[in-house]
Structure 1
């Protein structure tokens, strides 16, 4: 089954209602083995594209993953980006902000982790937490060191959405391609994965009481995600809603979308000038003359 990236893309200005987006689709492959082989081919293609990205040294790629707990962000990152040269790929996972980070604006800590030209940066969660978990838990906002007028402003989320759009537009204008994935997991599938984490001893470390606490806010999170995706999916920095109930399908979709964005960059190795070619031939001749 062919993957069409546009099928999962949130168009700029599109109003997102997540109950209208599937969490599971028809299997993309006839067997698990076929899926693994297909993913391996795409990972090899991604690795080749990353080498071109590094060699051309004009663009960077920022890949953002957001999702509810147990949606498979770590697995997607591990399987899809596993074949890329570690020197060309940086993965950052954003947890609770430090005291230093709280003394800066909400985008500051992300700015410090942006990929330089020629590299892929991966954000496992991101600055979008500031319009997701902070919106669901307003007590977090009250604990942030903002001016009182900002903490209580009715339009604070609209202002943060604007800041995010402006930030991403600035990055795009300076060569950073931004691709954002929301791994769309159903509440029932999350329940099954939580049970598996309890039943399988080797997965116990993945589960905590906090996961159950956050599950109680499912509807509030869905609303926050709908608002964020609607407000911040743009032509230059799109959101993709990826069905995540089937892990293998989710990984294949993410890989194919990444490849489609690489293709749009039309990367190529730098051309050698006549003067540079002459210099290289002279060096070659010197090497051949060595004892």
Structure 2
């Protein structure tokens, strides 16, 4: 499959090689292809049923079924699944008209004809041709499309301050949370326990406020509790107890545990994709 009129995003990466001081900075270009904007209508929030994703899932399942029934020599079921596949495959061009000319329609006709004539080897050959087309599209577009339409858009998320009831944008809120955690670390290093206590109280309140914002995307408590449930909030409480006891080393370890189990885990799930999305948009 070829990709005319593809919008390219060029990310120039400055890679500092630290293996040897003799190496200079190197730059290389990484190309990202953005799918046509018409695909957006088949993803949330425009499309609640996630029609594009479910179509892709069906196509994969239908390809597998055809392969298995061709191997079994089961012509009747092979025809049934080839018809299902043909319907979903054609729908790609209906949903994203810009890709209609890229579909392997000739090979689709050959696949259906082979299924109806019981040419099981012919079915396999047609599947491989269409499958290569699918793989090419996925390689070109899937990662960026997932970032744009399946990742959270934190620009649209606000967090309500538990004290002032003010709605803060996510970036500003997370900056305040980061500052509070760093203030705890600095204060512990310098044995300024009153400052550490105040910063811990602020951090605790911020984490409670943050938990309330999870409902913007997650509709059950299970996802929120994975990061901000009883177990991790107990870590936050333990940190406060160690600060009150003036336990510097243990307090720093406890702070590190909070940072890894809550902050780093959440960033690993959300931030990389969110940053990529922000760059692409």
Q: TM-score if structure 1 supplies the norm length?
A: 0.24
Of Structure 1 and Structure 2, the greater helix share is in: 2
Higher relative contact order by CA 8 Å / sep ≥ 6: 1 or 2? 1
